[in-house]
Structure 1
């Protein structure tokens, strides 16, 4: 009898052990899989049973939460929703989350173990904390200046701090109000249907998710390759560049819109934007020389995260010399995001050092204590300091006496490059107007801000569309907004940079820039000829993209500080 009891007890003990082992498997080992399963409604209920943490710009909360009165107790609210939608994305109980709302969801929802004082214990218990806050690097003044500069035109703006990689502005137009997608009612579904079928794609973040042919702004990369390789030793020396220039191996001739390009120096060719000079330089460098230099500026990087994913900008190394020539003036298969072209300008303005761009400055827990912060990191030495200095001379001449005069700011040094890119079947699309630039106070050796602007649908006759006329005034407004926040460094001590907003689209404030060099007048930015094949980047990421972006390859490094 005792033996039977012992055997029964042992069997029951084994069953209990098996039950405990299975409980550990379900609650600990497989917890992540259950949490990631989109069919698990409990996760959705938990995510919205309390207010989410907030996203901040310039210390101000640009998101919030409101009670719904339903099973999903809270829904997202947005302050200046259309202005910051390219930064925040949306958080929807029906359609998931995008951009920062998606990549930083564990922090905002309170499920990230980093919010807990004992992360390992959190992994075991999975008790939900109150959501943390995400502090962005966005400068509200620069963000608003970019949006107002586009004034409803289709396009995008990206602005960086060249010294650190902090993203100061990300604007995409047209935009949308993410609050329209927060909630579960019929109005949310109607808004989703309207937004996702809109031909203007307001939910597409053009600043980081759309690639365009960069046109003549890519001549910065071509000039860098020529100077770094030694192909061009003196930017002011005359080149052997015919006009027209026959593309290698073809019967197609490339021309320029204005005079002064025959055998022009790189300095003058850059200033008045000669297609023939830079196409020949690209062909002389060959595909490998061009691709190597472009990649040092960040092209062909499929791993870049800010922490949201950025569409790769593209330069193809499998090209013939005729295609290299076209690619060298920003056409053929060369495509870039506005963020990428801002990175090019930033590297030049920062003495050749390209910093990794990042959007999240720090994250704090519900008590306001910093739990993680982003440290600036060098992405690449794009060019030598000497070459960067030469490129700065080229870009500053574009603004002072070339095609970019509309970007000039009195009391500051501005360097820029205009671009006008053709696209579409047989190049019949409205040309894209580009401008990339940097600005610095005269007393500073390095730039304070770098900007890239692209305007897709400039309101002008085709022949009148130019980067200098349509995009440069927007860049000027953004640069001035950043410089205004640096008292004592531009203009009079403690005063904003001269020139009021009312002159945004007028001539530069202050003295008139010097006239053109005798070597040739500065004609309007010429159209970069085709064939141009636009490279559309990924569309809006409508799916559920939950998880820490900082843990992905290519994301900025988050470090945990020793104090608050």
Structure 2
């Protein structure tokens, strides 16, 4: 009998050893793989088990959380979802997170350890109360941009030149991110519908759309010509004929405007002479052009605001004929609306480009500071004297040139129109561009810089011009921004 008991005891001991070994294997060796297994729903249950922190505009939340009483308990909700979708992105139980929802997920979800430290709390699961993300947006400027586009394909970005704070960021047509918050057939149907739509409502055109910038790029070329010494007197004849034959080819570059033959840089900017600006780009040379364009932010694949930004491009290897076209914003030159707002902001801020940013600060749910985003210099793009010359020329564009529809009563406005060709043999309807800045009457410096692009396939070709379509939108956004801020009194 005692022998049987001993055998049973040994067998039970072996079972205990086997259980212990299996526990070590599962909880130690295989823990990471099992945690990430698609069938493991515990992380999702934990993640959506508490309300998510809010994203704020002008002190008011534009997001919320809804208690579903389901296993994944809290779904994200959005106030005026389409208006702010390019900023917030979406937080979906099915498709993950984008925009600020993704870039600031640690704070919003409560997983950022700094939140627990500030509150004197700790969570065994690494999740505490979700914090808040306070944006730099001006609500009135955002609404003006959204209303100005009126559902047409395009984008608007407005920046405060002295700080880099993004005041408006709109992409159109937009979508309601709340449609993607939960799970189930309805959410999957919405995802399919939005992704299959010809209008691409989920494309963030403001940050991820890249377009030929057309004549708005002439401000960059003018900066390069002045900084390199190719142009010493902006009012002097350029020596560049019209029409201008592209170097090494039999192709002549035409002008839409009259009076461009041997025109000065001042005249070429005011009336958008292709020939003068293409010729100046060739005289500056590829190395000189690259030095200037990259100071503005072109070819920078690392830019974050903190949402990811598509790279704006200017080819590093090309012949003189291609350089001529690139210098007027054609050939392979591409830019996001944010990039062109940065161009305008650098001119407005005396040649100093501030790093653009969408987040002012993050806080705990009860308002205690977690992080504060400081103003940062991206680059000294040009000398103050060059920036001053460019501001004067951009003012002439609005006062007597192609940008008159952006003028604001009681403010000084500088701008540059652009009508960018695209498509096979440039037969696609052109994109309408306008970049600008505005300075309130008694302000020391411009308070807002803006870029607008409209890609409207339904409009008459004759109506798709930067001055006719995009300039009025820019004017309304700048008016709203100046009314809501200090007009640039803080200076640089």
Q: In structure 2, what is the equivalent of residue 182 of structure 1?
A: 181
Q: Would the alpha carbon gap of residues 365 and 285 (structure 1) be closer, same or farther in structure 2, given more than 3 Å must change?
A: same
Work out whether residues 138 and 167 of structure 2, in 8 Å CA contact, stay in contact via their aligned partners in 1.
yes
Equivalent position of 2:259 in the other structure: 260
* TM-score (norm. length: structure 1): 0.80
- Report the Cα offset of residue 460 of structure 1: 3.8
> Which residue in 2 is equivalent to 1:414?
413
What corresponds to 1:69 in structure 2?
A: 69
Q: Distance in 1 between matches of 2:403 and 2:29?
A: 63
Q: Secondary structure at the match of 2:144?
A: helix
Aligned ranges for residues 475-490 of structure 1 at < 5 Å?
A: 475-486=474-485
Question: 2 CA distance for matches of 1:489 and 1:323?
Answer: 39
Query: Does structure 2 conserve the Cα–Cα contact (< 8 Å) formed by 1:157 and 1:170?
Result: yes
1:481-520 → structure 2 map (5 Å cutoff) = 481-486=480-485
> Structure 1's 41 and 293: CA in aligned 2 closer, same or farther, altered over 3 A?
same
Partner of 1:100: 100
Kept in 2, the 8 Å contact 1:458–1:465? The answer is no
Aligned-pair distance for 1:461? 2.3
| Offset of residue 122 of structure 1 | 5.3
Query: In 2, distance between residues paired with 1:238 and 1:380?
Result: 31
- Given that 1:113 and 1:119 are in contact with CA atoms closer than 8 Å, whether structure 2 keeps it comes out as no
Per the alignment, do residues 62 and 120 of structure 1 end up closer, same or farther by CA in structure 2, a change over 3 Å counting? closer
- What's the counterpart of residue 462 of structure 2? 463
Once residues 83 and 251 of structure 1 are traced to their aligned partners in structure 2, the CA distance between those partners, rounded to angstroms, is 49
1:160-559 aligned at under 5 Å gives the runs 160-457=159-456, 460-486=459-485
In 1, the alpha carbon distance for the partners of 2:37 and 2:269 equals 54
In structure 2, the gaps of 5 or more residues are 1-16
Taking the aligned partners of 1:119 and 1:130, their CA distance within structure 2 comes to 9
The CA distance in 1 between the partners of 2:290 and 2:369, in whole Å, is 41
1:131 matched to 2:130? The reply is yes
1:19: how far off? 10
Superposition map of 1:55-94 within 5 A:
55-94=55-94
- The alignment partner of 1:372 has SS state of strand
SS at match of 2:432: strand
- Given the superposition, is the C-alpha separation of residues 34 and 415 from structure 1 closer, same or farther in structure 2, using an over 3 Å criterion? farther
SS at match of 2:332: coil
* Conserved 8 A contact 1:409-1:476: yes
Question: How far apart, CA to CA, are the structure 2 residues paired with 1:38 and 1:273?
Answer: 57
**Alignment deviations for residues 189-220 of structure 1 (CA, whole Å, 9 cap, x no partner):** 11111101001100000000010000000000
Return the alpha-carbon distance in structure 1 between the equivalents of residues 268 and 487 of structure 2: 36
* Post-superposition offset of 1:232: 0.3
Where in structure 1 are there 5+ consecutive unaligned residues? 1-13, 491-564
Partner in structure 2 of residue 558 of structure 1:
none
**What is the deviation of 1:15?**
11
Which has the larger displacement, 405-414 or 282-291?
282-291
Cα displacement string for residues 146-189 of structure 1 (whole angstroms, at most 9, x for unaligned residues)? 00001111100001011111111110000000111111132111
Secondary structure of 1:227 counterpart: helix
Return the alpha-carbon distance in structure 1 between the equivalents of residues 308 and 116 of structure 2.
27
Structure 1 residue 258, shift from structure 2 partner: 2.1
Classify 1:489/1:221 alpha carbon distance in 2 versus 1 (closer, same or farther; 3 Å): closer
Say which SS state the counterpart of residue 428 (structure 2) adopts.
Answer: coil
Distance of 1:458 and 1:412 partners within structure 2: 33
Report Cα offsets for 1:75-105 as digits up to 9, x if no partner. 0110000000000011111111111111111
User: How far apart are the structure 2 equivalents of 1:444 and 1:17?
Assistant: 74
Against the structure 1 CA distance between its residues 350 and 35, is the aligned structure 2 distance closer, same or farther, given a 3 Å change threshold?
Answer: farther
Which secondary structure state, in structure 2, belongs to the residue aligned with residue 295 of structure 1? Answer: helix
Deviations 1:520-546 (A, max 9, x none): xxxxxxxxxxxxxxxxxxxxxxxxxxx
Q: Distance in 1 between matches of 2:224 and 2:21?
A: 66
Partner of 2:422, secondary structure, is: coil
Q: What SS does the corresponding residue of 1:452 show, helix, strand or coil?
A: strand
CA contact (8 A) 1:52 1:65 kept: yes
Report if aligned partners of 2:443, 2:487 keep a CA contact under 8 Å in 1.
Answer: no
Shift of 1:52: 0.4
* 2:451 counterpart SS class: strand
Q: Which residue of the partner structure matches residue 14 of structure 2?
A: none
Structure 1 residue 458: Cα displacement: 6.3
Checking the alignment, whether the CA contact within 8 Å between 2:447 and 2:488 is kept in structure 1 is: no
8 Å CA contact 2:351–2:383 kept in 1: the answer is yes
Q: How many residues align?
A: 476
RMSD: 2.6
- Distance in 1, matches of 2:20 and 2:69, equals 43
